[in-house]
Amino acid sequence: MVFLKAVILVGGYATRLMPLSLRIPKVMVPVAGKPGLEHLVQACKNAEIHDVVISLNSNQKVIEEYFGDGSKWGVQITYVYEDSMSDEDKFGAIGAIEYTLKKTGMPEECLILNGDNIFYGLDLKRLKHAHAGNKGHATLALYTLEKKSEVELFSAVQVDEKGRIMRFQEKPKLAEAVSNLASVGIYHVGRPFLEEHLPEFIKHRKIVGKKADSPGTLWQHFVEKAELYGHAFTGTWGDTNTPETYVDIHKASMTYLVGNELGGDYTVTEGGKVAISPDAKISSDAIIHGPAIIDSGCEISAGAVIGPGAHLMKGVKVGEGAAIMNSIVFRDAQIGSKALVNDAIIDLGASVGSGAVMEEYSILGFKAKLGTKSKMLSKTRAWPFVEIGEDTVVGGTIRLPEELFKNELAKEPLY
For the stretch 161-219, pLDDT in tens is 999 999 999 999 999 999 999 999 999 999 999 999 999 999 988 888 887 788 999 99
Of 253, 271, 291, which one is at a domain's C-terminal end?
Answer: 253
If one counts every other C-beta atom within 10 angstroms of the C-beta of residue 71, the result is: 10
Statement to judge: residues 301 and 235 lie in one domain: no
CB proximity list for 30: less than 8 A, separation 6 or greater: 36, 250, 311, 313, 328, 415
At what angle are helices 215-222 and 93-104 packed, to 10 degrees?
90
- DSSP assignment of 38-80, as one string? HHHHHHHHHTT--EEEEEEETT-HHHHHHHTTSGGGTSEEEEE
Is 194 within a domain? yes
Residue 382 sits in a domain whose CATH number is 2.160.10.10
pLDDT attached to residue 2: 59
- Here the CATH number for the domain that contains residue 160 is 3.90.550.10
143 and 43 share one domain: yes
Quickly list DSSP for 104-123: H---SEEEEEETTEEEES--
Q: Are both 155 and 269 inside the same structural domain?
A: no
Q: Report the domain count for the chain.
A: 2
Q: Are residues 220 and 296 in the same domain?
A: no
Q: Are residues 108 and 145 in the same domain?
A: yes
Q: Are 330 and 21 in contact (CB under 8 A)?
A: no
Q: How far apart are CA 380 and CA 377, in angstroms?
A: 6
Task: Let me know if residue 111 belongs to a domain.
Answer: yes
The predicted structure's pLDDT at residue 265: 66
Q: Is residue 65 part of a domain?
A: yes
- Using the 3D structure, point to which of 234, 253, 272 is the last residue of a domain: 253
- Flag whether 116 is in a domain: yes
- Which one of 226, 253, 280 terminates a domain? 253
- Same domain (yes/no): 124, 217: yes
- pTM comes to 0.95
Sign of the dihedral defined by the CA atoms of residues 129, 135, 138, 144, in that order = negative
Flag whether 97 is in a domain. yes
Tell me, yes or no, whether 242 and 267 share the same domain: no
Residue 384 lies in a domain: yes
Amino acid of residue 348: L
Q: Helices (H), strands (E): how many in the chain?
A: 9, 36
Residues 247 and 328 in one domain: no
Q: Are strands 117-120 and 236-239 parallel, antiparallel or unpaired?
A: antiparallel
3-state secondary structure of 234: coil
Domain assignment present for residue 258? The answer is no
The answer on 221 and 175 residing in a single domain is: yes
> Does 199 lie in the same domain as 120?
yes
Contacts of 283 (CB under 8 A, 6+ apart): 266, 300, 301, 302, 303, 304
Whether 245 and 268 share a structural domain: no
In a domain, 35, yes or no: yes
At residue 212, the pLDDT reads 77
pLDDT lower than 50: segments of the chain: 1
Q: What range defines the domain where residue 93 resides?
A: 4-253
Q: Are residues 173 and 316 in the same domain?
A: no
DSSP secondary structure letters along 386-397: -EE-TT-EE-SE
Which segments of 304-371 are extended strands (E)?
305-306, 310-312, 317-318, 323-325, 328-329, 334-335, 340-342, 345-346, 351-352, 357-358, 363-364, 369-370
